[in-house]
Amino acid sequence: MNLMLAPMEGLVDPIMRDVLTRLGGIDLCVTEFVRVTNVLLPTRTFHRLAPELLHGGKTRAGTTVRVQLLGSDPACLAENAAKVAGLGAPGVDLNFGCPAPTVNRHRGGAVLLTEPELLYRIVSQVRAAVPEAIPVTAKMRLGYEDKSLALECAQALASAGAAELVVHARTKLEGYKPPAHWDWIARIREHVTVPVIANGEVWTVADYHAIRAQSGCERVMIGRGLIAAPDLARRIASDQSATPMAWSVLMEWLLDFYQQCVAEAGESRYPPARLKQWLGQLKKTYPEAAAFFERIRRETSAENILKIMRDMSAK
C-alpha cells in the first residue's frame, strides 16, 4: 500500500470514496471519524459512516477501508473498536489530528497531543480489545500549539501498539496553512520503530516525490490534493506527471457523484450543497469548475442541477 486517501470530515464520505477509488491509484482509505463519547454506538452508526462494512470492508473498486474512531475515553473507545472489528472492519484507526475547535473543546482530535500518557492508554486499550489480525493505527499532527511533544506523542502511540502512524506535518494551530514541515516527519520516523506515513501539502506528482524524499517515508496519505485533482493518485501510480484529466472527462465523474447524492438524499438541499462544495475544491485545478459553480450558485433544486449537468455532458 503506497498511497492512502485521507479521512476528511464532511468531504470524504462514502460516495466520494467510491468515486475516487474507482478513478484508481488509491491503495487504502480511512473513513470520516466516528465520534465516540461514553456509550457503545449502535450498528447503524457504523454502517452509516462506513457502508463498506456491508461489502467486506471495501469500496466498489475493491479498495480497503479502515474505520476511524475519535474520542478520549480509553475504555469506551476500546469497546467500540471491538464492535466495529466484529462488524468486519479491516482496520481501526484512531484520530489524534482533527483541528476542529468543537471537537477539540470536547477532548477529541489534536488536543489530546498535549497528553502523551492518555494517547498511550487509548491505543493500548484499543489494541487489547481488537483481534490481533486487525491493525490498530493512529493519525497525529505535530502537536497542538507547538511541536515540543511531537516525538513523545509518536513514541507513546507506537509503544502502545499502533501498527503504523500517519503524521500530518503541521500543528493544530497551523491548521492547513503552508508549509507542511516534512522534515519533522523524518524526525518522527527515525524515533519510532513502526512504519510512518507522510501527510500534508501534497497537490502534485512532484509534491508526492518531494515529501517521500524529505520524510524518508515509502507511503503517503493525500487529502485535499485528491479532491482538487481526482486523478492525482492514478497519475502517481502510473508514474506520470501529466496534466490532470480533461474537464470533459471529469464532468462524467461529477455526474456520477451527483447522481449518487441524489439517489441517497432525493430532492433536498444536500446534493446541490455537496456538488458546490466539491466544485469549490476543484477550482484549484480546473478553471471550468469556477464557471460551473457560478452557473449553479443560486440553484437549490437537485433535479434542475441534474438536468444542467446532463446537458453539459451531452455536448
CATH code, domain with 199? 3.20.20.70
The pLDDT of residue 1 is: 62
pLDDT band at 47 (very low <50, low <70, confident <90, very high): very high
65/193 same-domain check: yes
270/308 same-domain check: yes
Active-site annotation holds for 98: yes
Backbone φ, ψ for residue 82 (5° rounding): -60, -40
Burial (CB count within 10 angstroms: exposed 0-12, middle 13-18, buried 19+), residue 283: middle
Residues listed for the chain: 315
- Give the separation between CA 56 and CA 307, rounded to whole angstroms: 35
Per-residue pLDDT averaged across 130-141, rounded? 98
| Residue 286 lies in domain | 247-314
The pLDDT of residue 314 is: 72
Instruction: Give 211 or 310, the one with higher predicted confidence.
Output: 211
The pLDDT of residue 233 is: 96
168/310 same-domain check: no
Q: Is residue 139 part of an annotated ligand binding site? A: yes
Q: Does residue 106 have a pLDDT over 90?
A: no
Q: How many CA atoms lie within 13 A of 276 on its CB side?
A: 16
226/183 same-domain check: yes
Q: Is residue 234 part of an annotated ligand binding site? A: no
Contact 159, 136 (CB under 8 A): no
pLDDT band at 14 (very low <50, low <70, confident <90, very high): very high
Percent of the residues in the chain that have a pLDDT greater than 70, as a whole number: 99
Per-residue pLDDT averaged across 107-113, rounded? 92
169/310 same-domain check: no
Q: Is residue 55 part of an annotated ligand binding site? A: no
Percent of the residues in the chain that have a pLDDT greater than 90, as a whole number: 91
- Give the separation between CA 100 and CA 143, rounded to whole angstroms: 14
Task: Give the tens place of pLDDT for each residue, 233-268.
Answer: 999 998 777 788 999 999 999 999 999 999 999 989
Mean pLDDT, all residues of the chain = 95
| Helices within the chain (DSSP H only) | 14-23, 43-49, 74-86, 101-105, 116-129, 150-159, 182-191, 205-215, 224-228, 232-237, 247-265, 270-282, 287-296, 302-314
Per-residue pLDDT averaged across 52-69, rounded? 98
**Total of domains in the chain:** 2
Task: Give the tens place of pLDDT for each residue, 161-212.
Answer: 999 999 999 999 999 999 999 999 999 999 999 999 999 999 999 999 999 9
261/228 same-domain check: no
Select which of 98, 153, 217, 261 is catalytic: 98
263/158 same-domain check: no
Contact 136, 111 (CB under 8 A): no
Q: Is residue 168 part of an annotated ligand binding site? A: yes
Q: Is residue 219 part of an annotated ligand binding site? A: no
Per-residue pLDDT averaged across 137-150, rounded? 97
Identify which of 232, 169, 167, 172 has the alpha carbon closest to the alpha carbon of residue 204.
Answer: 232
DSSP 3-state of 68: strand
At which of 238, 269, 289 does a domain end?
Answer: 238
